[in-house]
Structure 1
Amino acid sequence: MPDESGTGGRPRSRRDPEGRRRAIVEAAAELITEVGTDGLTHRLVAARAEVPLGSTTQYFATLADLREAAMQHLADEIDDGLAVVREAMQDMTSAPAALASALHEYLRDVRLVQADTALTWASVHDPRLRSLSLRWFDELVAILSAHIGPARATAVAVFADGATWHAVLHEEPLDLDVLTDAITALFTQPR
């Protein structure tokens, strides 16, 4: 039986448009890692976000708008790992091992790896998303270039991309020792 609030015992919550929008974007991002961008629908997002179906179209007029916001959210999550890379580069004697360790931790996070590959795959089909997909690679190269030069930095970034796809296809990351040996070799290769 409804109480005085008219909600069956639950107190009415204040409207939180930004919170609802954020919930919709986060739900869409989660779904993209599970069903891909082609499987994303307003109905699936509304169910995952636990909002009325009309809310998804209220905040995002088209599915393309919602997809782009979700991809931006995924890119922002992936970018958080760049702070770890910056920290690893503080001590060049331990930088290769620290970078390998950070990469290994990232590759063990199935959700982040799925987000990264979903973002990459989506950017192949939608050139408007390409800059989001390339942002991590380009920033990693920029960070590393200051310490090991652009050629080596690019080689490390390409290796990291390959290690990511390896983790997706094999459903587990490369061994930490393999990552460390490869990154150390790339750091110290002749210029």
Structure 2
Amino acid sequence: MGGPRKVANDPLRKQRILDATLAVIAEHGVHGTTHRRIAAEAGVPLGSLTYHFGSLGDIIEQAFARMAESMSERYHAALTAAPDEPAACAAVTDLICGDEYATPRELVLLHEMYAYANHNTTVAESLRQWLRRSRASLARHFSEPACRAIDALIEGWPMHQAWEREPLNRDLVRATITAVADRLR
């Protein structure tokens, strides 16, 4: 005899799916991301994806938005903890030279996100919001022109390091951030 189907209460399933999506993207790229791979990675039935999300594109958009928000929070926390501009320069140096801003896996995901944003307006808007949040965090300590320049360095330097596969020179990074802050005060 049939009846209502019972589904186990799993309040974190949607988050697990988004986390799994990022894991699949990091391993296979956006182009290799499928519903089946995400479901397998999340350990959920395939139908869970269509229950929680309208499309594969929707899953990818929400996963990237979640990643951007998480990274933004770390960025904001580092700059909020800095009591003054010299401490903010040190915090920015730590963001650029350490794993606090972006782990190697997150750098792979950032490359995928930027490329996907070229063809997806929702992800492009998530990136624009992220840039605004980043500059707002920097604005606690730096002028608007310095915020733009420093934010570009925070984004660019770790990406260069990922391709060069060599450690960054912390002294050079710190001197550059300080010089930008001083010059654009």
| TM bin (shorter chain) | 0.7 to 0.9
C-alpha RMSD of matched pairs (Å): 2.1
Shift of 1:150: 0.8
Residue type matched to 2:121 in 1? P
Q: What residue ranges of structure 2 are gaps of 5+ in the alignment?
A: 1-6
Residue 47 in structure 1 maps to residue 40 in structure 2: yes
Shift of 1:55: 1.8
Q: What residue ranges of structure 1 are gaps of 5+ in the alignment?
A: 1-13
Write the distance in 1 (CA, Å) between the matches of 2:148 and 2:184: 14
How many residue pairs end up in the alignment? 177
SS at match of 2:110: helix
- For 1:83, which of 77, 91, 105 is the aligned residue? 77
Conserved 8 A contact 1:108-1:172: no
TM-score for the superposition, normalised by structure 2:
0.84
Shift of 1:178: 2.2
Conserved 8 A contact 1:85-1:99: yes
| Aligned residue number for residue 34 of structure 1 | 27
- For 1:69, which of 62, 73, 76 is the aligned residue? 62
Listed one character per residue, the Cα deviations across residues 126-168 of structure 1 (whole Å, up to 9, x for unaligned) are 1221121233322222232343211111111111121132123
Q: 1:136 to 1:172 in 2, by over 3 A?
A: farther
Residue type matched to 2:48 in 1? S
1:29-178 paired onto structure 2 within 5 Å = 29-81=22-74, 82-88=76-82, 90-106=83-99, 109-178=103-172
| Aligned residue number for residue 10 of structure 1 | none
Structure possessing the higher radius of gyration over alpha carbons: 1
> Which one has more relative contact order, counting CA pairs under 8 Å at least 6 apart?
2
SS at match of 2:81: helix
Q: 1:164 to 1:121 in 2, by over 3 A?
A: farther
